[in-house]
Amino acid sequence: MSILPRSSGASTGTKQKSKSGPTTFKTFFECWLVEQNQHLQDLVAISQTSTEEQSWCPVQKVLDHYEHYYKAKAEWSKQDVLAMLSPSSWTSTFEAAFLWIGGWRPTMAFHLLYSKSGIQLENQLYHLIHGLGKGDLGDLSPSQLVRIDKLQAKTVKEEKNISEKMAKYEGTLADSCMVKLTHMVSEMMRRGDGYEEGVGVEVEVEVELAMELKKERLKEMLRRADDLRLKILKALIDIMTPSQGVHYLIAAAELHLRIHEWGKVRDGKRLSSLT
C-alpha cells in the first residue's frame, strides 16, 4: 500500500506514528480526527479574540487539513475503493446511513450554513437593532447571500449530475455481461464441474476481470464526488470574511465530531447488548 503524506498540524505523537505512513485508512482517519479536534479548539479561541486579519491563516490551515484528507482518501481508494465507499470500520452505522458516494452530500454544506447563520442571527438581534454586528454568520450581507444562492444552485446541478451517473452505473451490475457470467458459473456449480474446487481457472479470471472493471468506474465516481465536496467547501469559505469562515468551520467540525462520537457510542451499546 502506498505511504500517504503525514497529516499536517499533527501532534508530536501522531507525527512519530506516521513517519512510515499509517497502515490502514482507519488509522489515518483516527489521527485526522484528533487533529480536527485540535483545530476546533484553536478556532474557538480565535473566534473570541482575533481580528479579521488574524483569522485568515487559521482558516487556511483548516482548509489545508481537509484537502490533505481528500488526498489521502484518493490514494487509499486506488487500493480499496469498496472500503472507501462503505467505510464501516471507521464510521458509525448512523453516519454510514447518511453517506452519499462515500461522504457528505455537497448540498449539506449549505444546510449547515443556513442553520448556523439563523442561530447566530437570532442570538444577536439586539446588537443588529443598534447597528452592531459580531462578524459571525449572522452578519452575512445581501451580496454574500446572492453569491451563496448562486453557488448553491450550481452545486445542486452538479450533485444531481453525479447522482444520475452513479445510478446509471449501478444499473450495469445487471448488464448482459454480468448476467451471462453469473448464469455460466451457476450452471457449472449445478453440474458439479469442479468450479468450487478451483477447476474453472479461466472462469475465475473472467469473474475477477469483470469485478475489477466495475471497481475502476467506482473510483472515478468517488473522485468526482470528493472533488465536488472540497470545491464547495473552499468556494463557501471564499465568499465569507475570515471571521465568518472561522465560525463556519467551527460548526462543521462540531457537527462532524459530535455525530461521529454519538454514533460510535450507539454502536458500542448495540454490540454490548448482543453479547
144 in a domain, yes or no?
Answer: yes
pLDDT at position 24 over 50: yes
User: Residue 251 and residue 229: Cα distance in Å, rounded?
Assistant: 16
**Percentage helix, strand, coil, to 5, in the chain?**
80, 0, 20
pLDDT at residue 11, as a whole number: 40
- Which of the two residues, 9 and 73, has the higher pLDDT score? 73
* Domain-located, residue 159: yes
According to the model, what pLDDT value does residue 192 have? 75
pLDDT in tens, 105-163: 999 999 999 999 999 888 776 555 555 556 789 889 999 999 999 999 999 999 999 99
* Cell reading at 198: 478451483
- Per-residue pLDDT, 241: 95
Residue 95 belongs to some domain of the structure = yes
Q: How confident is the model at residue 10 (pLDDT cuts 50, 70, 90)?
A: very low
Residue position matching grid coordinates 454568520:
137
Q: How many whole angstroms separate alpha carbon 207 and alpha carbon 203?
A: 6
Residue 1 falls inside a structural domain:
no
Q: Quick: pLDDT tens for 54-64.
A: 899 999 999 99
In a domain, 3, yes or no: no
Name the domain count of the chain: 1
Query: What pLDDT was estimated at residue 21?
Result: 61
Q: Which of 19-23, 96-100, 154-158, 200-204 has the lowest mean pLDDT?
A: 19-23
Containing structural domain, residue 230? 12-274
**91 close to 267: Cβ distance less than 8 angstroms:** no
Q: Which residues pair with 100 in a beta bridge?
A: 103
For residue 193, the model assigns a pLDDT of 64
Global pTM reads: 0.85
